Amino acid sequence: MANVDVAEILELLCSPKKLERDRAIPSLEKYLQEAKAKEIESLGDTFIRNAENSDASWEIRNSSMLGSKCLLAHMHSDEKYCEEFAMGIRILALRLLTDDEVRVRMAAGEVLGVLCIKFGPTIYAQSRDVVLNLIRTNLSREMSNSNMDCAESNKCSCESRMTDATQIFHDTAGWKFLETSMKALQSMVDGCGQQFEEFVTQELIDLIFESLSHANRFVRETGFGVLSSLICGCTLDRTHEGACTSLTESSPILRFGHLFSHHLGIGLMDNWSQVRLAAAVATRKFLATVGEDTKHVFYPELIPKLCLNRYYLAEGVRNYSQETWRQIAGTEGKELVRKYIQNVVDHYVEQTQVENHAVREASCSCISELAVKIDSDAVRPFVPRLLETLIVCFGDDSWPVRDSACLACGNFVLSFPEESKSSLETLFPLFFANLEDPITSVRQGAAAALANVVRAYGLHVVTTVVNKVREGLSNVKNQQAESEKYADIEKGPATFGVVKRLRDNDMDLHTNQTMYSCGSLAPKMGRSCSSGGCMSGMNRTFRSAPQPWELADGSIYLVSELAALPIVKAEMTSLLELMAKAAHIRHYTHHVNLLETLCHQLPTIAEGIGKREFKAHLDLFLEPIFYSLNLENALTSSAASQCLNQLSTLLGPNILRTRVELFQPS
């Protein structure tokens, strides 16, 4: 092959642009397939010289590692030059594990992994002292002394200011050579495969476990990656999909099994989603490895964490955990939860008290699942404790937590009416508070929960619930046109456009506001519980005061939920009339939101009370529907259009057309 081709490949391999370096790899592999022995040796010598040149740019050193990986994969281990090249590049790869450029260090670790594939565990035996010492010495390091200039008299205040910044630094910053050294270890473990078991010592296990509790999240994530590789390296066989199977009785996985499950359980609770996912991957491999006869020993530690992560906010963690659950539980998931119900309940309750609001939300969803899916006799002894936990979560700063807690309470009331009866006095104010929450989905969830209360207790609570609906629909007339800032708007009916313009042109709403990117270290949504009482005043740090229109909106959702219940049938006529009156009050900005909700819920209400009953009240809502249809607000207009289509399907197109023509003869 022409020398110019090699020169072009090497030039691309040394490019500072990753796309060009990636493009060079297939070209190099194609060249090696046709190259002669002397050409391969010349190329190998070039890579050795580039790696030895400490004055060269990082791109050149990196190219030597990338090229060496391809070269090693192409050569046969019994070739004389291959052995010579491997000895030289191994020493250089170990040296480059402390290179200043992270990409060079990563590539050097990958070279060590390829060497293990090619020559077996001998490479690891020759290199482990260097790699493990790098990991050991970098597991802890001192903070920079640049922040130690505070005067002695100001030491306390300086420490106070630096506490949060120091924690953020430890948890997110790079950690010198530690992460890349552990990646190198993982590459070698993967390269050795099933032959690595003989090298699993107490020292290595302790080193890996120490990394799993490290302050830095990248180190913890890499540590679980190493643990995953170690688990597979201690098995006798692998399936065609790479799953690890079969263990010997002396396997380190069994000898250190409880330590493995303990650290995996901690990883499954990590505050960082990436660490959780890495721990979830290791957990699936661990449970797939230990076998059916043994895995039940580790279930008390792992089952509760796996259950909760099925509802975790991060999609990768959630989906992976759901698939893991299907693999280990099959069709016996409910029975597994029932068997370890004490461990599950303890974990769920504990996780409602953590700082991460996404975890608190997932915990409430899991508690709700206990009421709906698990055998009632198994859950019944824990109902008071679980209800108490959910009641605390009602006061959370995070609205998804409040919403999830509300739905869960509704499910418990429906599934355990006798056990929940004593909590009704506490629950009703909480349900009603969520019914007027500023967040639409929270109001909708409160409506669903209150409907479950009516299903559970019937006539004993119907009056209380219906009176709240009447209150909400009647008081919308007291809604201010806007907040106090817009009090100068003329009283009485106002056009939506006037109110909207005043609000849109308010510079204070759009100037000097804090911006947070997705995943940033924005202020956390905390629990509202305090020593003065968890529910005192319903902490409103992150919530505005409820508005009359919001309670009216929640009341429409509640009417929609109650419409299908026979016990409320006698009240529906008066409630529908109040809904229609509320829909005609339009002096406030958010009347378009109320109308959107009305249009979305009317078909459900019609289906719930029955076609014949609803036709008697249809005329009440034609004007609000057509008003909504002609609004500039796209969501409300679209909702009105969908409402007409669904009513046409339910009532019949001819009936609806006749009613519309009577309403608008033109």
Structural domains in the chain (count)? 2
Name residues whose C-beta falls within 8 Å of residue 357's C-beta, 6 or more positions apart in sequence: 396, 397, 398, 400, 401, 524, 525, 526
48 and 185 together in one domain: yes
Q: How many residues does the chain have?
A: 666
Strand partners, 245: 237
Q: What is the pLDDT of residue 666?
A: 59
258 and 188 together in one domain: no
Q: What is the pLDDT of residue 158?
A: 42
Strand partners, 441: none
> Helices marked H in 505-590 — which ranges?
548-562, 572-583
pLDDT at 160 over 60: no
Question: Of 330, 362, 391, which residue is a domain's last?
Answer: 330
- Estimate to the nearest angstrom the gap between the alpha carbon of 662 and the chain centroid: 52
Q: What is the pLDDT of residue 525?
A: 57
User: How much of the chain is in helix, strand and coil states, percent to nearest 5?
Assistant: 75, 0, 25
3-class secondary structure, 633: coil
Who wins on pLDDT, 494 or 57?
57
Q: Which amino acid, residue 320?
A: Y
How crowded is residue 453: how many other Cβ atoms within 10 Å of its Cβ?
Answer: 24
Phi, psi of 620 (to 5 degrees): -65, -25
Q: Could you tell me the maximum CA-CA distance found in the chain, to the nearest angstrom? A: 97
Three-point CA angle 17, 23, 27, nearest 5°: 140
229 and 180 together in one domain: no
CA-CA distance, 529 to 393, in Å (whole number)? 8
Q: Which amino acid, residue 423?
A: S
pTM of the model: 0.81
Q: What per-residue string of b and e applies to 244-279 under the rule 16 or more CB within 10 Å gives b?
A: beebeeebbbbebbeebbbbbbbbbbbebbbbbbbb
Name residues whose C-beta falls within 8 Å of residue 502's C-beta, 6 or more positions apart in sequence: 482, 486, 489
Question: Of 305, 330, 355, which residue is a domain's last?
Answer: 330
HSE, side-chain direction, 13 A CA sphere, residue 581: 14
Q: What is the pLDDT of residue 522?
A: 43
Tokens of 316: 């990768």
- The DSSP output letter for 482 is S
23 and 91 together in one domain: yes
226 and 180 together in one domain: no
* Residue 100 is assigned to a structural domain of this protein: yes
Name residues whose C-beta falls within 8 Å of residue 451's C-beta, 6 or more positions apart in sequence: 410, 558, 561, 562, 565
Q: Pick the range with the lowest mean pLDDT from 220-234, 260-274, 462-476, 512-526.
A: 512-526
Residue 608's nearest CA partner among 474, 468, 447, 460 is 447
- The DSSP output letter for 354 is S
Cβ distance 590 to 547 under 8 Å? yes
How does pLDDT run across 425-457, given as a tens digit for each residue?
999 999 999 999 999 999 999 999 999 999 999
270 and 182 together in one domain: no
- The DSSP output letter for 523 is P
CA-CA distance, 91 to 86, in Å (whole number)? 9
* Residue 280 is assigned to a structural domain of this protein: yes
11 and 89 together in one domain: yes
Q: What is the pLDDT of residue 546?
A: 86
* Residue 107 is assigned to a structural domain of this protein: yes
Q: Indicate the pLDDT class of residue 485, thresholds 50, 70 and 90.
A: very low
Q: Pick the range with the lowest mean pLDDT from 64-68, 170-174, 191-195, 356-360.
A: 170-174
CA-CA distance, 102 to 94, in Å (whole number)? 14
CA-CA distance, 390 to 423, in Å (whole number)? 11
CA-CA distance, 239 to 330, in Å (whole number)? 19
Phi, psi of 251 (to 5 degrees): -60, 140
**What is the chain's alpha carbon radius of gyration, rounded to the nearest angstrom?**
33
- The DSSP output letter for 524 is P
* Residue 205 is assigned to a structural domain of this protein: yes
123 and 20 together in one domain: yes
How crowded is residue 381: how many other Cβ atoms within 10 Å of its Cβ?
Answer: 12
CA-CA distance, 567 to 456, in Å (whole number)? 11
CA-CA distance, 91 to 65, in Å (whole number)? 12
Phi, psi of 512 (to 5 degrees): 55, 40
Q: What per-residue string of b and e applies to 197-235 under the rule 16 or more CB within 10 Å gives b?
A: bebbeeebbebbbebbebebbbbbbbbbbbbbbbbbbbb
3-class secondary structure, 271: coil
Q: What is the pLDDT of residue 465?
A: 96
Q: What is the pLDDT of residue 232?
A: 86
**What percent of the chain shows pLDDT beyond 70?**
82
CA-CA distance, 442 to 153, in Å (whole number)? 50
* Residue 540 is assigned to a structural domain of this protein: no
Q: Indicate the pLDDT class of residue 260, thresholds 50, 70 and 90.
A: very high
Q: Taking residues 544-563, report their average pLDDT.
A: 93
How does pLDDT run across 334-352, given as a tens digit for each residue?
999 999 999 999 999 999 9
Q: Taking residues 590-596, report their average pLDDT.
A: 95
270 and 123 together in one domain: no
Q: What is the pLDDT of residue 37?
A: 87
Q: What is the CATH number of the domain that holds 188?
A: 1.25.10
How does pLDDT run across 612-640, given as a tens digit for each residue?
999 999 999 999 999 999 999 999 999 99
The three-state (H, E, C) secondary structure of 141-193, written as one string? CCCCHHHCCCCHHHHHHHHHHHHHHHHHHHHHCCCCCHHHHHHHHHHHHHHHH
- Estimate to the nearest angstrom the gap between the alpha carbon of 431 and the chain centroid: 26
CA-CA distance, 455 to 178, in Å (whole number)? 59
pLDDT at 320 over 60: yes
* Residue 626 is assigned to a structural domain of this protein: no
Q: What is the pLDDT of residue 487?
A: 42
Element spanning 245, H or E: strand 244-245
186 and 230 together in one domain: no
pLDDT at 514 over 80: no
Q: Which amino acid, residue 323?
A: E
* Residue 665 is assigned to a structural domain of this protein: no
Question: Of 313, 330, 347, which residue is a domain's last?
Answer: 330
Q: What is the CATH number of the domain that holds 223?
A: 1.25.10.10
**Boundaries of domain holding 101:** 1-138+176-192
Q: What is the pLDDT of residue 283?
A: 96
27 and 48 together in one domain: yes
Q: Which amino acid, residue 582?
A: A
91 and 45 together in one domain: yes
* Residue 515 is assigned to a structural domain of this protein: no
Q: Indicate the pLDDT class of residue 568, thresholds 50, 70 and 90.
A: very high
Across 55-59, 173-177, 592-596, the highest mean pLDDT is recorded for 592-596
